Amino acid sequence: MSSTDFQNALQACLDKAIVNGVTPALQCIVINKEKILHNTISGLASTPSASPPDGKPFTNDSALLLASCNKVVLSIVALSVLDKRQVKTGMGIEHLDDHEKLVEILPEFSPSSGSPLTKILEGFEEGVLDSDGRKVMKLKYAKTKITLRMLLTHTAGMVCDWTHPLMAELYAPTDGSVPHKQPPWQLGRMSDHEVPLIFEPDTTYATSPDWIALFLTRATGKSLRTLYQEHVKEPLGIPKDDFDVFRSPEIERKLADIYVRTPTGDFFKVDLVPYATEDIPPPGYMVYASGAFWGTSTSFALFIQALLREDTRLLSKAVWDIATVDDIGPRGIRVPSPEMPYANPMISATFDNYIDTIPKGELGVNLLQAKVTLSKTVTGRSVGSYGWAGAANTHWVVDPSKEIAIVFVAHFLPFMEPRVIETRNEIEKLIFDHLERLPEIDWFLFTRDLAQSVYVEIKKAQKIVSEEGIYEEKSRASLRL
């Protein structure tokens, strides 16, 4: 397959998914250490409606809810702050396993704090409610003290409100009793984040809520936005308004819509606005940093390129050496399979493995909160490659062995939606199978004019509205509007 044939095949893969109604928009960016090699876009940032009646094309300027893609950025900033000795209490990179150093900054994790974060939820007393009408929890104290390493690798015993049935009962009891808490991403109250653990710390991996953001603001006295500017955006030359933990007016202006697929196959627009603030949150509140992250795909790709490069403007070589390798295996921990047997279906599908390895289930986790492949994947990722994703299905992978990185964008819910993942895997396999033929294209040359031309071609395959206002097929079906 020639380079031109490869480009055509990649574009055809995205176009096919759009035509088949997988999602309204798709993008794939392929990167090496020096440049963006390939940038392919298909579909619409907004489907046709009263405004705009023809829809709005998806372009490099479209802003996205990157959501949990923020985890890797938070980790880089945390390791950078430690590496540069910028923590007010003197905590450094050598204190990743020091519980006492952690609780100087996050006293909520101290056994003497009385916080629910020091206890494990085993269940609920059958048929018993407290004076406030809430289910009575069965709790026991955790034996293991939590460290920053555990928070960075999701091995602290915590789970999200939407990823485990016991935790879901705290926020939305199935018996109609009074909830203990409100979903923490909505209001940002610290009290909604302070919930019991589900597992004994340092025994298993589980996708968990973020405390790294609060650690950083307390440790430095600076807002996340300031820290991101100092530790990531300025060193890498990322535009200030393209990469933000706050949904700024500039982000809002160019934000692409998020969609779900209805049972009839139509697309329905939804929105998620995780709690975030322009500056340090007021007392009693914390940014929901696991989800509060917006930016353009190309700016995020520049950040991912810095990971591939192990850019010393971000971290020293010594810290890079420990940051990207599997951190949980040496502690006798693996990512469980099935990885997410329970989930709120509006946020995530259930799934066995984030990426299928050969054999299955060979996944670790590094200090960048990313999944590390411990054996080759079915799509061609090398052993030692690592990656993760955001709730709206922006997926990224760094493959150091092949010196390549990929950013895949769908802007579609729920997370790990099967048809989206099938498309992601097909594209990954195409790229890795034909890696040596990737054309070197400067993404800056992928202009609005080219994006518009792709848009025009896609429009030929869309449903259009007839004069009577009824949706009809023209040419071939594309989006279900």
Handedness of CA 221, 224, 226, 230 (dihedral sign): positive
**Which residues of the chain, if any, have pLDDT below 50?**
439-481
Please say whether the beta carbons of 78 and 213 come within 8 A: no
Which CA distances in Å does 263 have to 47, 268, 447, 462, 478?
18, 10, 36, 20, 17
3-state SS, one letter per residue, for 6-57: HHHHHHHHHHHHHHCCCCCEEEEEEECCCCEEEEEEEEEEECCCCCCCCCEE
Domain ranges of the chain: 88-209
Q: Which two tokens stand for residue 391?
A: 């709730």
Length of the chain: 481
What backbone phi and psi angles, to 5 degrees, belong to 84? Answer: -90, 5
With a pLDDT cut of 70, the percent of the chain lying above it is 90
Per-residue confidence (pLDDT) for residue 456, from 0 to 100: 44
Nearest alpha carbon to residue 197 among 130, 146, 147, 256? 146
Kindly report the pTM of this predicted structure. 0.90
Nearest alpha carbon to residue 406 among 3, 123, 10? 10
In angstroms, the CA 398 to CA 385 distance is 6
Which CA distances in Å does 357 have to 143, 312, 337, 352, 394?
33, 31, 11, 11, 20
